[in-house]
Amino acid sequence: MTLQEQNAKRWANCHISSQMGPAFEKVANRLMAVPAKARYQSVEKITGVPWWFIAVVHEREASQNWNTQLGQGDPLNKKSVHVPKGRGPFKTWEDGAVDALVNCPPYAAKNKDWSVGGALAMLEKYNGLGYASKGVPSPYIWAGTDQYTQGKYIADGVYSPTAVDRQLGCAGLLKFMGVFKPGATTGAGPVIAAAGASGIWYYWQAFESHWVIYTLGLLTTSFIVDCLIYAYRNRKN
């Protein structure tokens, strides 16, 4: 099974608990805020890389810090010391982002497959294929979802099987951003998502996790309403 197929399968089986939903929603809304989205789209126009891909990379690499390089989160005004090393300094965040996407492996600007499997595979390549080589889900993609439990590179080339990545993964963020949902376009260009898509997804996840409770509550409410209507009619008669 290819990396694209593995990630597409995990995406199809991925669930986010109602406990994690608000955290994903908060960050997704921040990444989709008009000023931020405009900056991501300006880089998209130059590189052809979808703005939402750039946004989740920016979050993973630097918690959306605009004074860092997109390639690895190092300071924008200094040469980078982490992989990719020796990049910069750059005058603007946009300059650093274009360099990372065009001039550095895995050369995301050359990617032509922005389907769910293709995009997630490119995100995994962007972080490195160490997890894929071990046959484990990458927390860069899956942290915060039921597809990931533990295992993390705690430094370049240093893997801990017991460490847990607490940062939100790209897949959950993309779900809350409405990417790959019906009505959205996944190629380079704006993603068209229904208003409130992130909120709808959150409540669906909550229902899915607690459907028995919600169903019993609905049945109980219906029974009470029926009793009240019956009592009212008898009283009227």
CA distance 65 to 97: 12
Overall average pLDDT of the 176-204 stretch: 56
Q: Which value, in Å, is the radius of gyration of the alpha carbons in the chain?
A: 22
Residues paired with 103 in a beta bridge: none
Q: How far is CA 78 from CA 102, 170, 214, 217, in A?
A: 19, 27, 54, 58
User: Which pLDDT tens digit goes with each residue over 45-84?
Assistant: 999 999 999 999 999 999 999 999 999 999 999 999 999 9
Whether pLDDT at 109 is above 50: yes
Structural element, H or E, at residue 106: none
Residue 149: both structure tokens together:
């439990």
Contact between residue 70 and residue 96 where contact means Cβ atoms under 8 Å apart: yes
Question: Is the pLDDT confidence value at 39 over 50?
Answer: yes
Whether the pLDDT of residue 188 is over 50: the answer is no
- pTM for the model stands at 0.78
Is 50 exceeded by the pLDDT of residue 199? Answer: no
Share of the chain above pLDDT 90, in %: 74
- Give CA separation, 163 vs 6, 28, 92, 150, 157, in Å: 23, 25, 34, 6, 14
Could you read off the pLDDT of 11-23 as tens digits, one per residue?
999 999 999 999 9
Residue 130 in this model has a pLDDT that exceeds 90: yes
**Residue 185 pLDDT:** 54
